[in-house]
Homo-oligomer: A and B are copies of this chain.
Amino acid sequence: MAAPGSTAAELAERLLAGDKRALARAISLVENDDPEGWALVREVFPHTGRAAVVGFTGPPGAGKSTLIGAIVGHARAREREVAVLSIDPSSPFTHGALLGDRIRLSDHFLDPGVFIRSMASRGSLGGLSEATLQAALLMDAAGKDDVLLETVGVGQAEVDIIDHADTVVLVLMPGSGDSVQALKAGVMEIPDVIVVNKADHPLTDTMVREIRGVLSLGPRTSWRVPIVRTEAARGEGVEELVGRVEEHRAHIEAEGTLEERRRRNLMNEVMELATGRMRRRLADSVREDPAVQQLLDEVVARRLDPASAAARLLERDE
């Protein structure tokens, strides 16, 4: 995939100097599971760990992208360099709503201090969260002060993807009853900051009250999850939100849990990368080997149970 004459070392050098095109190319390499991409991350990894990484999740339509656009504007006013990584589900329906959101970010497309990238959550060649962390590391190495990760959804799977962040922000809106219930039922872990966006809606107070009620039932921790009202489209509440995110970061830094979080996230990452590779190796052997296909036929015919078939697969693979 590399252009003739370009080496990982050259690309790494340009990336570390903050070259936007080098960063875009590097992310494509890791997204495509290209060995040169891995070599690049290896090269720049010692230069990572400086960016503040913030993850945003929440139901589609809550206005996350508009909010992130406003946060980017706020950061730029303070001359901070920003990178945004959005993970989009590939909808079988119209892409209208999501594209509409993306367009909100386009104010920043021409700003050299802002780097914006989307990844599809299905059909990625490697595992999604592998690619996400690698991309976030590359953004960090490229000297971005803020790395903002965005996922769409209201389940633990979506939180897991942005779990590499130092701070996790859940973005809701009036009417996000399902999400509040998911939080209450434990379908989703408690985030660090909760936003109620579209706060000009008459049901905002009700929503804030519901969230407060759920949080009050939760375990007591040293960090009290703030609920911030925003109207992202008008920039309302964005300054407060940025302040809360910074407070959270200062809190976990002071407490020593930032190091702990990053240690845990890196360890999880190593495990995920290792299991992802094993899974792909296994999937290849299944695809290519007629003997394995025969094994699966036996399972479908209910002559061989799935666990025994799995055990035989593993024996073959060793």
Contacts and interface: CB of A to CB of B under 8 A. Distances in A.
A52 interface: no
**Which of A94, A187, A219 has its CB near the most chain B CB atoms (within 10 A)?**
A187
A282 B274 contact: yes
A175 B181 CA distance: 12
Interface string A287-318: 00000000110011011111111110110001
Contacts of A183: 93
A270 B310 contact: yes
A3 interface: no
Interface of A: 38, 41-42, 45-46, 48-49, 59-61, 89-94, 97-98, 122, 133-134, 137, 152-158, 175-179, 181-187, 190, 214, 217-219, 262-263, 266-267, 269-271, 273-275, 277-279, 282-283, 286, 295-296, 299-300, 302-311, 313-314, 318
Given A46-B303, A266-B299, A185 B314 contact: no
A185 B87 CA distance: 12
**Which of A179, A306, A308 has its CB near the most chain B CB atoms (within 10 A)?**
A306
Contacts of A60: 178, 181-182, 184-185, 187
Given A158-B155, A218-B92, A273 B307 contact: yes
A267 B282 contact: no
B307 A38 contact: yes
A93 B296 CA distance: 43
